[in-house]
Amino acid sequence: MTEKQKRHQKILELIGAQAIEKQDALSAALGAVGVSTTQSTLSKDMKELGVVKVPDGSGGFRYRGGQIFLQSQDLLQRELTDFVVGLDGVEHTLVVKTITGHAQGVCEAMDQAGWTEVVGTVAGEHPIFILCRSTEDRLRLQDHIRGITGAL
- Whole-angstrom Cα distance, residue 65 to residue 93? 36
Q: Break the chain into its structural domains and give their ranges.
A: 3-65, 75-149
Question: Where residue 11 falls among pLDDT bands split at 50, 70, 90?
Answer: very high
The H or E element that residue 132 is part of is strand 127-132
What is the dotted CATH code of the domain comprising 75-149?
Answer: 3.30.1360.40
- Mind listing the pLDDT tens digit for each residue in 96-144? 999 998 999 899 888 888 788 999 999 999 999 999 999 999 999 999 9
- pTM across the whole model: 0.55
Give me the phi and psi of 84, to 5 degrees please: -85, 125
What's the rounded mean pLDDT across residues 65-94?
81
More confident residue, 79 or 59: 79
The DSSP result for 37-101, as a single string, is: --HHHHHHHHHHHT-EEEE-SSSSEEEE--HHHHHHHHHHHHHHHHHEEEEEEETTEEEEEESTT
Q: Has residue 90 got a pLDDT over 90?
A: yes
> For 28-43, what is each residue's pLDDT tens digit?
999 999 999 999 999 9
**Which CATH number applies to 3-65?**
1.10.10.10
Asked whether residue 7 carries a pLDDT value surpassing 60, the answer given is yes
In this structure, the number of other CB atoms found within 10 A of the CB of residue 7 comes to: 19
pLDDT at 13 over 60: yes
